[in-house]
Amino acid sequence: MTINAEVPVAATRTGPAAPARPEAEGTTSAADLVLPLVAVGGAGVLAGYGYVRRTRRARTRTTPGVVSPQPPVTPLPVLERQARAALVQADDCVRSSRDELAFVEARFGTRAVEPFVLALHEAERELSAAFAIRLRYDEGVPEEKAARRHALAGIVGRCAEAGRRLDAAAPEFDQLRALDREMGEALEVAEGRFRELTGRTGTVEATLADLRTRYPASATAAVTGYVEQAKDRLVFATTHLNQSRQAADLGRTEQAVRDLRAAEGAIGQADILLAGVDELANSLAKAAELIPAALTGAEAERARAQAATGTADGVPRSLLGDTDAALAAVREEVTGDRPYDPLTALRSIVRAVSALGAGQDGVLGAAAWLVGRADVRATDGFVATHRGAVGAGARTLLAEAERLLATDPAAADEPALAARQLAEQDVRVHGNPYSGAAEHTTGAVLGGVLLGESPNGGPPPAFGGPNTRKREEPDPGEPPSNSVRTD
């Protein structure tokens, strides 16, 4: 319906007008009564219609000063997605800030980076609290819908605070690095680490080959492809180191900084991948050494549990049978002729005695800590080098495993292994959206070395929170990085 704002005019007929009749003085014609009534009635209709229109506008308008009687409520699934996204973003900010901080510490020393280490630790604490809330939420706590909304808001708030602390430290961090004035020294540090890792690659490759001859495939499955991925990151790094030095020589400072940060990120991830192989080799060797003593300790715990059977402190006889079966399987593996996985065997011992309520002192405590640490570190390395695809679920379980490693090592391996399984699933589902990009860009995006916001991989992240981690953007007037010659 529309309303014409113009004053209505009576329609006129064609033809001769009717002669006017003189009325007697003091009388009123019918027309004199009808026209005012029509006008009043029309005004009433218009007023009523205007009231309805105003009421409808008041219920739906979004202008300041007018509050809807029933504001829209964001659906719970939408809030859950927002909380998951906040966790992933905050975790990425913490990880990329930690990576760049390592290069700055290598250049300026521990004392110079103390304020930024403090800011990073504060952000880590906020993020840990957010992950703890998310873990309880996934377990169904709290149950009430309103309380669950508050929990999700708490997750987002904690993540925002973690990012704020990093954002606040970013300007001073840039002043310390002074990449716009002292690019040469930063390049020397990065190139030194690059050369060291390049030299280590051959040694680590030989270590992995040796592990495959001594242990079954399941023992080395956690680091499958790590050497190849490390080489891929190093090729990416050397390309961007060359481009950074050449861009700096040409006075293209922003482009030089961008390439340097990309190279540093790739170098850091190559280090994680190679270290993962070395750590697995050490864990397997220590587990093999610890198994005989752990079996002896487990037998003692089993005897204690059997002696307490039938008392208030006793355990069900079914658990004793499960423990006997687990320990017998480990003995058979250890004394057999076929290669076995020492970490898996030690994990079986730890789980068997944990079910009996055994303490975590002595050799069994050392066994629990060794297994838990190996699983947590292996999962953390995988998440760190595949963060571009890993979601909030895996990161939440990893955070819980890290917490348990410090308080209850025997319980840490279960969430760590579950986190690794979820992370690998995320990577498989993610696939390769950069198949047509430049060589080695796919691995850089998958690892979070590049943020993946454009077909060429996007910018590298910097130290800081969500408002500062992309502050080093190239000048739009400068040519893209692949236009700088590398020969």
| Secondary-structure percent of the chain, ordered helix, strand, coil, rounded to 5 | 70, 0, 30
Mean pLDDT of 443-468: 93
Angle between helices 362-385 and 253-307 (to 10 degrees): 150
Output 331 or 46, whichever has higher pLDDT. Answer: 331
Q: What is the CA radius of gyration of the chain?
A: 35
Percent above pLDDT 70 for the chain: 79
Instruction: Specify the pLDDT at position 13.
Output: 38
Lowest-confidence range among 5-14, 181-190, 292-301? 5-14
Tell me the average pLDDT of the chain: 85
Distance CA 470, CA 96 (A): 11
Mean pLDDT of 317-335: 93
What tokens were used for 285? 């060797």
Reported as a single tens digit per residue, the pLDDT across 89-107 is 999 999 999 999 999 999 9
Distance CA 264, CA 268 (A): 6
What is the domain partition of the chain in residue ranges? Answer: 76-177, 186-483
Lowest-confidence range among 32-41, 174-183, 300-309? 32-41
pLDDT band at 66, cuts 50/70/90? low
Whats the size of the chain, residue-wise? 487
Q: Classify residue 17 by its DSSP letter.
A: P
Conformational region of residue 68, where left means phi above 0, alpha means psi within -120 to 50, and beta covers everything else: beta
SS3 170: helix
Sign of the Cα pseudo-torsion (399, 400, 402, 406, in order): positive
The yes-or-no verdict on residue 38 having pLDDT over 70 is no
Between the two ends of the chain, the Cα-to-Cα distance in Å is 73
Distance CA 249, CA 184 (A): 10
The yes-or-no verdict on residue 476 having pLDDT over 90 is no
DSSP characters over 172-194: HHHHHH-TTT-HHHHHHHHHHHH
Q: Which amino acid is at 110?
A: T
pLDDT band at 474, cuts 50/70/90? very low
Query: Tokens 């549990």 appear where?
Result: 305
Instruction: Specify the pLDDT at position 400.
Output: 98
What tokens were used for 34? 């009808």
Half-sphere exposure of 90 (CA within 13 A, CB side): 33
pLDDT band at 478, cuts 50/70/90? very low
pLDDT band at 182, cuts 50/70/90? confident
Closest CA to 233 of 267, 202, 204: 267
Q: Burial code of 233-269, b = ≥16 C-beta within 10 A, e = fewer?
A: bbebbbbbbbbbbbbbeeebbebbbbbbbbbbbbbbb
Q: Burial code of 281-290, b = ≥16 C-beta within 10 A, e = fewer?
A: bebbebbbeb
Instruction: Specify the pLDDT at position 104.
Output: 97
Distance CA 479, CA 251 (A): 12
Instruction: Specify the pLDDT at position 317.
Output: 79
Sign of the Cα pseudo-torsion (156, 158, 164, 167, in order): negative
Distance CA 216, CA 230 (A): 23
Instruction: Specify the pLDDT at position 184.
Output: 94
With beta carbons less than 8 A apart as the criterion, state whether 227 and 208 touch: yes
Reported as a single tens digit per residue, the pLDDT across 341-399 is 999 999 999 999 998 887 678 999 999 999 999 999 999 999 999 999 999 999 999 99
Cis? peptide before 115, omega within 30° of 0: no
Distance CA 216, CA 338 (A): 9
